[in-house]
Amino acid sequence: MQGMESLKEKDSRFILNTYGERELAFERGEGVYLWDVKGKRYLDFLSGIGVNILGYAHPRIIETIQRQASKLTHTSNLYLIPNQIKLAEKLVRNSFPGKCFFCNSGAEAVEASLKFARKRGKGRFEVISLENSFHGRTYGALSLTGQTKYQKNFVPLLPGIKYTPINDFEKLKSKVTPQTCAIIIEPIQGEGGVNPCEERFLKAVREFTKEKDILLIFDEVQCGMGRTGRLFAYQHFGVEPDVLVLAKGLGGGLPIGAMVVREEIADTFQPGDHASTFGGNPLSTAVACEVVDILTSGNFLEKVREKAVFLWELLEKLRGNMEGKIKKIKGIGFMVGIEISGSAKKVRRKCEENGLLVGTAGENVVRLLPPLIVEKTHIEEAVKIIEESMKEVL
């Protein structure tokens, strides 16, 4: 393995600078830990931004990859792909009656949902999104993202996109016109600050969209796949969407995206309307099937909910000990935002120095997205490092 300085020099020389300076490079992972190229161990409470929900080197994931890779990794959607059909059935049986489209990422899945909505709209083309939302960086997904900082260098964006505050149903209603074809919502905003929707807001939106024949799209790229302690975040609220968008944790570390649409509107897409070369390939769908099986077996998700309660209890205790430096803890389950009086980036960097990987969501929110397999001892270790790090920089 090359040394860190050599890696950074070659990164600067050959890789486009879209991610800024990166101070760490990892060599291997096991369970909830990563080891960098210098041999230092880190407790991972970011999971590759919500991707590695089963941690690293999970034996069932490794076995599935090896078995499938030895047989077939890619054919084409010109042909039936048995693993793809198997995965679609698993997703539908665990969500609502419908059909699936597979792609390779969250942004691609959002793009598919946007095309789906506009075709179904039959001339209606406006889509309402939420302020502080994040739906991806491709043009359609970026247009839906309610954060100017991501959009400002790429205007003009798609026409017909409107933004409204989270949890304000009256403001949302005021944005609707006869041209509105869809409303897209993250049940819990991720990049925008880890902001959960209120149940009454989602229920009001659901009733309203049914009344007006407007498509309701839930983007669960980050908050889905067990992250909240339910397989899908919308299951906490008792509100089902017309379209469900998934990615990140679905692939257990491999790239995959999915769009699930209700049975009664599934014929909106016809041959030629949308496609993906790699989407739903035999390898990614084999692993995704294994991920769904693990999440839905026994009491796995019940344990996630129990461990999440333990994490929240420790974080609330920490908040009480930090003399106002932690404003609030927000999120659901293992999707957690710690809103602080200070720089979240400084806390993140100090946590890294102290052997813990965390993320940020905006200027003052430290984001936690631990693997769902963490144990209480890992949670105690993480909160201790967070406390030490905050005391050093806040």
Q: Any idea what the CATH number is for the domain that residue 37 is in?
A: 3.90.1150.10
CB 209 within 8 A of CB 216: yes
For residue 115, give both structure tokens. 């095309």
CB 156 within 8 A of CB 210: no
- Please list the residues that pair with 130 across neighbouring strands: 164
Burial class (CB in 10 A: 0-12, 13-18, 19+), 213: exposed
Q: Could you tell me if residue 190 is inside a domain?
A: yes
Would you state the pLDDT for residue 106?
A: 99
Domain enclosing residue 127, as ranges: 72-296
For residue 364, give both structure tokens. 């003052």
Identify each DSSP E strand in 307-371 by its residue range: 326-332, 335-340, 356-357, 359-360, 365-368
Q: Could you tell me if residue 63 is inside a domain?
A: no
Residues 212, 235, single domain; the answer is yes
Domain edge (last residue) among 277, 296, 315: 296
Instruction: Compute the distance between CA of residue 22 and CA of residue 37 in angstroms, rounded to an integer.
Output: 13
For residue 43, give both structure tokens. 């407790």
For residue 84, give both structure tokens. 């793809």
Residues 272, 304, single domain; the answer is no
Q: Could you tell me if residue 65 is inside a domain?
A: no
Task: Give kind and range of the element (H or E) at residue 180.
Answer: strand 180-185
For residue 84, what is the domain's CATH number? 3.40.640.10
Instruction: Compute the distance between CA of residue 93 and CA of residue 32 in angstroms, rounded to an integer.
Output: 30
Would you state the pLDDT for residue 1?
A: 59
Return the axis-axis angle of helices 376-393 and 300-321, rounded to nearest 10°: 30
Domain edge (last residue) among 241, 272, 296: 296
Residues 326, 214, single domain; the answer is no
Residues 323, 240, single domain; the answer is no
Q: Could you tell me if residue 129 is inside a domain?
A: yes
Q: Is the peptide bond before 255 cis (omega within 30 degrees of 0)?
A: no
Q: Could you tell me if residue 67 is inside a domain?
A: no
> How far is the CA of 93 from the CAs of 20, 85, 103, 260, 262, in angstroms?
42, 12, 20, 11, 12
Q: What is the pTM of this model?
A: 0.97
Residues 79, 174, single domain; the answer is yes
Residues 112, 124, single domain; the answer is yes
Q: Which residues contact 281 (CB under 8 A, 6 or more apart)?
A: 73, 74, 75, 81, 84
Residues 261, 316, single domain; the answer is no
Instruction: Compute the distance between CA of residue 283 and CA of residue 376 in angstroms, rounded to an integer.
Output: 33
CB 157 within 8 A of CB 143: yes
Q: Could you tell me if residue 162 is inside a domain?
A: yes
Domain edge (last residue) among 296, 323, 348: 296
Sheet containing 243-246: give its strands across.
98-103, 257-262, 243-246, 215-219, 180-185, 126-130, 161-164
Classify strands 257-262 and 98-103 as parallel, antiparallel or unpaired.
antiparallel
Residues 87, 177, single domain; the answer is yes
Sheet containing 335-340: give its strands across.
326-332, 335-340, 365-368, 359-360
Residues 171, 310, single domain; the answer is no
Residues 138, 104, single domain; the answer is yes
Q: Could you tell me if residue 14 is inside a domain?
A: yes
> How far is the CA of 384 from the CAs of 47, 99, 299, 322, 355, in angstroms?
19, 45, 28, 13, 11
> Which mean pLDDT values do the consecutive 10-residue runs of the chain (394 residues) have?
87 95 96 98 99 99 99 98 99 99 99 99 98 98 98 98 99 99 99 98 99 99 99 98 99 98 99 98 99 99 99 98 95 99 98 99 98 99 99 96
Residues 32, 155, single domain; the answer is no
Residues 144, 278, single domain; the answer is yes
Would you state the pLDDT for residue 241?
A: 99
Into how many domains does the chain fold? Answer: 2
Instruction: Compute the distance between CA of residue 28 and CA of residue 99 in angstroms, rounded to an integer.
Output: 37
> How far is the CA of 81 from the CAs of 76, 102, 237, 283, 286, in angstroms?
8, 11, 34, 10, 10
Q: Could you tell me if residue 290 is inside a domain?
A: yes
In the numeric block, the tokens 């020099």 are attached to: 9
Given CA atoms 30, 36, 39, 42 in this order, what sign does their dihedral have?
Answer: negative
What is the number of residues in the chain?
Answer: 394
CB 161 within 8 A of CB 126: yes
Would you state the pLDDT for residue 2?
A: 74
